[in-house]
Amino acid sequence: MELISDRHLLAIVLGCTVIVSSAWAGDETGEDQTLAGTEILAIVGDRHILQGDVMPRVLMAVQPVLDKLTVEQKYLQRREIEQQKSRLLQQMLMQEVETKLLYMAFLQDLSVDQRQTAEEHIESKLKEMFENAVLEMLKKINAADKQETRDLFRSAPQVARLAKLMDMDGIETIAELDQLLSRFQTSVELERESFKERNLGRSFVSDKIRKRPEVNHREMLKYYRENIDKYEFDSTARWEQLSVYFENVDSRDDAYAAVATMGNEVLQGAKLEAVARRRSQDSRAAEGGLHDWTTKGSLVSKPIDLAVFNLPLAKLSRIIEDDRGFHIVRVLERRQAGRVAFQDVQKEIKKKLLEGKQQDRIDKLLKELRDAIPIWTVYDGQ
């Protein structure tokens, strides 16, 4: 989690966020419930967190999933949906408690004059900053693949969630977003306020743990040795395959003759890729029989696995038989089992250890705040 270095800069509003998880939502027919919104779920200091503060996030997060279900599927899964919604409402409430806790700490850390000046300055810029953040995120969401989308949600969950909703609904303006949010019993104004509280709260954390933790060589080497299994890898190979399956021919002799014919074509100069596309029955025939990097021992066919990891490179195998049919393989590349050297993962280990130390300091600060600021939730005692 990257923290902002100076809470007195307007950049704090564009900084750190609290991660929000995905959730399920829906009534017993699978449709969204109307929220009463007034039930008190938690009290942090003198601030109340209502059902209506948390449930819209659940509904927004689950909408992409619910959209993929039919009415019948929603009905059949109604109990599971309700159970998941209850569990995730609790999880999101705990995240909101943390947000309120940090925001209160931010305010308490300022003098009355500082607080008034900071709030006036931030409020004057907040609308523009929030809207710019959402619209910029929309561009990123539009261009992102699945992994990039997951990374965006991890780094800025609230803004990413809003941008994703806009993308799915095909809208491009904040005014349209406000109309869309009304379906979830929230609004741009409420989201903007949440945006402010989250980022100012995290800026308080940044201010309290300014000094970057240090990781020395001994710590990194110790981590490497204690987790050595993570850096070991099995043999892998890239290879090509020609196959004829017993189930697709009249007899074993016919299967043998068919695969032998393909092998002879390759030996006589034909490209294996072309032969595979025309004749092979292997699942990768359309890709020219090519199997990308495969780990030793992972193949269902043990005879093929044995051949792939023992044959000389670039040589056609003899005809191989297993319980499904006859095959010919050719190994293109092979990487022997080994271990990633410490030098090659030193930066990765250092980053991991730094993040762990930083999180430990954040957890310690949060515990101190929880001890100082009274907290109650409806889940206490469960």
Q: What is the mean pLDDT of the chain?
A: 87
Q: Quick one: residue 206, left, alpha or beta (phi over 0 = left, psi -120 to 50 = alpha)?
A: alpha
Whether pLDDT at 20 is above 80: no
**pLDDT at res. 7:** 36
Residue 226 has a pLDDT of 96
Instruction: Average the pLDDT over each of 26-35, 138-147, 225-234, 346-355 and give the range with the smallest value.
Output: 26-35
User: 235-336 has which CATH code?
Assistant: 3.10.50.40
Q: Which residue has the higher pLDDT, 380 or 122?
A: 380
pLDDT at 5 over 80: no
Among 342, 148, 331, residue whose Cα is nearest residue 231:
342
The predicted pLDDT at position 36 comes to 53
> Using N-to-C axis directions, what is the helix angle for 272-279 and 252-267, rounded to 10°?
150
The token pair that represents 199 in the structure block: 């980022």
Q: So what's the pLDDT on residue 30?
A: 40
Query: Does residue 277 carry a pLDDT above 90?
Result: yes
Tokens 């032998």 correspond to what residue?
260
How do residues 182-209 score in pLDDT, each as one tens digit?
A: 999 899 999 999 999 988 888 888 888 8
Most confident of 1-5, 89-93, 181-185, 271-275: 271-275
The per-residue pLDDT for 154 is 86
Task: Return the percentage of the chain with pLDDT > 70, whole number.
Answer: 90
**Per-residue pLDDT at 63 exceeds 90:** no
State the DSSP code for 40: E
Contact (Cβ atoms closer than 8 angstroms) between residue 188 and residue 176: no
Q: What are the residue boundaries of the structural domains of the chain, listed by start?
A: 10-210, 235-336
pLDDT (tens digit per residue) in 72-126: 998 998 888 888 888 889 999 999 999 999 999 998 888 888 877 877 788 888 8
- Residue 38: its pLDDT value, please? 83
Q: Kindly give, in sequence order, each residue whose CB lies less than 8 Å from that of residue 213, ignoring residues fewer than 6 positions away.
A: 354, 357, 358, 361
Across 63-67, 254-258, 298-302, 368-372, least confident range? 63-67
Examine the pLDDT at 15 and tell me if it is beyond 90: no
Task: Examine the pLDDT at 1 and tell me if it is beyond 70.
Answer: no
What are φ and ψ of residue 4, in 5° steps? -90, 140
Q: Cα 232 from chain centroid?
A: 25
The span from the CA of 8 to the CA of 1, in Å, is 20
307: pLDDT strictly greater than 90: yes
* Percent of the chain residues past pLDDT 90, beyond the cut: 66
265, burial (CB in 10 Å: exposed 0-12, middle 13-18, buried 19+): middle
Among 24-33, 71-80, 146-155, 161-170, name the one with the lowest average pLDDT.
24-33
Provide the pLDDT confidence category of residue 210 given band limits of 50, 70 and 90: confident
DSSP secondary structure of 76-132: HTHHHHHHHHHHHHHHHHHHHHHHHHHHHHHHHTS-HHHHHHHHHHHHHHHHHHHHH
Contact between 332 and 309 (Cβ < 8 Å) = no
User: Is beta strand 40-44 parallel, antiparallel or unpaired with respect to 47-50?
Assistant: antiparallel
Record the pTM: 0.62
pLDDT of residue 68: 86
Question: What separation in angstroms does the CA of 253 have from each of 114, 181, 245, 278?
Answer: 89, 67, 11, 20
